[in-house]
Structure 1
Amino acid sequence: MTSACSMQPSSSKRAALASFDHAYAVAVRMRHATGHPQFVLRTGDPLQPFRVSSTGPQRHQALMTLVA
């Protein structure tokens, strides 16, 4: 049995959506929409390796870039 933590993206579409480039593009759009800085964070989760947040990194997350 495979745990959710060890799963890799199962399709090219999922891989594209989970990429740093996609997270960065989302952060840029959110920055323009909200007027607030956005952080691109590395999560360590293989299903969502990057996420965008309006707050800085929390425990077990690494700051990849800030869209100010």
Structure 2
Amino acid sequence: MIVAFPSARSSALTTLATYDRAYAVAIQKRRETGRPQFVLRTGDPLQPFRVSATGPKREQALMTLIA
């Protein structure tokens, strides 16, 4: 099945799925939890960056560690 995203949604995803947004989320999660947070590059065009309390897994690259 092929799913087409409306252009407005694609535009929103492009805006939200940035390194700067992931970095801001990592800072916020670090303050809230007190645990180090990793900003990871995923290789997925819909979610190119993610924040995790654990290190990179297969096919992910470490971008930043918020210690």
TM-score per shorter chain, which class? 0.7 to 0.9
Q: Which residue of 2 aligns with 1:10?
A: 10
Offset at residue 15 of structure 1 (A)? 1.3
Q: What is the alpha-carbon distance in structure 1 between the residues aligned to residue 59 and residue 2 of structure 2?
A: 22
* Aligned residue number for residue 6 of structure 2: none
Matched residue type, 2:22: A
- Figure out how many residues of one structure are paired with residues of the other and give that number: 63
Counterparts of 1:16 and 1:23, CA distance in 2 = 11
- The answer for the alignment partner of 2:42 in structure 1 is 43
The normalised TM-score by structure 1 is: 0.84
Distance, in Å, in 2 between the alignment partners of 1:55 and 1:23 is 15
CA distance in structure 1 between the aligned counterparts of 2:36 and 2:23, rounded to whole angstroms: 12
CA distance in 2, matches of 1:2, 1:59: 26
Structure with the greater alpha carbon radius of gyration? 2
Identity in percent = 68
SS of the counterpart of 1:10?
A: helix
Runs (5+) with no aligned partner, structure 2? 4-8
Letter in 2 for 1:56: G
TM-score by length of 2: 0.85
